[in-house]
């Protein structure tokens, strides 16, 4: 005859819990490894300052199209930024060149002067000027953008921008 024992019940529960925890620890990582990004020598093809790059005749319309409504006006009602996207580059370093997985980019990294610690931005321009990607960090919330033929904000785009962000922060 089988009898219920608290000791047996607790033992089985601990065994089950240990099995579940062990199984959870061996899950493979999701997605491909992050891209490798390296800061290269500067390239002034679009200008020597952030303002030059953002105002470059070949890039200015693309930059505005990249950010859409977030460029000129705040768009919090539709999930956009509370600060105009252009303000995220109000205080910026000279644009470096980046090499990311065999492609070259011009990077503009800056911040909104009044709230520099919490409102930072990165604009990545493919060397030919046809593809633009951006990341805006706004007080704990990150916005991603993509512009160009076939450009989408997907996990590889986010990984590309995050790798560039990390490389640029590491050079300081």
Q: Is residue 85 part of a domain?
A: yes
Q: How far apart are CA 158 and CA 125, in angstroms?
A: 15
Q: Is residue 148 part of a domain?
A: yes
Per-residue model confidence (pLDDT) at position 34: 81
For 104, the domain range is 37-170
Q: How far apart are CA 131 and CA 128, in angstroms?
A: 8
Q: Is residue 22 part of a domain?
A: no
Q: Is residue 30 part of a domain?
A: no
Per-residue model confidence (pLDDT) at position 158: 94
User: What is the total count of domains within the chain?
Assistant: 1
Q: Is residue 31 part of a domain?
A: no
Per-residue model confidence (pLDDT) at position 71: 86
CATH number of residue 99's parent domain: 3.40.1420.10
What are the residue ranges in the chain where pLDDT is below 50? 4, 77
Per-residue model confidence (pLDDT) at position 54: 93
Which region holds residue 81: left if phi is over 0, alpha if psi is between -120 and 50, else beta? beta
Q: Is residue 25 part of a domain?
A: no
């Amino acid at each position: 005859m089988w009898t219920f024992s608290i000791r047996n019940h607790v033992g089985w529960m601990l065994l089950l819990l240990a099995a579940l925890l062990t199984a959870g620890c061996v899950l493979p990582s999701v997605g491909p490894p992050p891209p490798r990004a390296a800061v290269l020598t500067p390239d002034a093809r679009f200008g020597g300052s952030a303002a030059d790059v953002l105002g470059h005749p070949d890039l200015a319309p693309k930059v505005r199209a990249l950010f859409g409504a977030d460029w000129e006006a705040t768009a919090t009602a539709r999930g956009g930024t509370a600060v105009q996207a252009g303000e995220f580059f109000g205080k910026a370093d000279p644009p470096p060149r980046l090499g990311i997985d065999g492609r070259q980019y011009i990077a503009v990294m800056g911040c909104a002067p009044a709230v520099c610690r919490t409102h930072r931005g990165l604009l990545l321009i493919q060397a030919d000027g046809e593809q633009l990607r951006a990341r805006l960090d706004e007080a704990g919330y990150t916005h991603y953008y993509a512009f160009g033929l076939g450009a989408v904000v997907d996990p590889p785009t986010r990984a590309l921008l995050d790798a560039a962000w990390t490389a640029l922060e590491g050079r300081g």
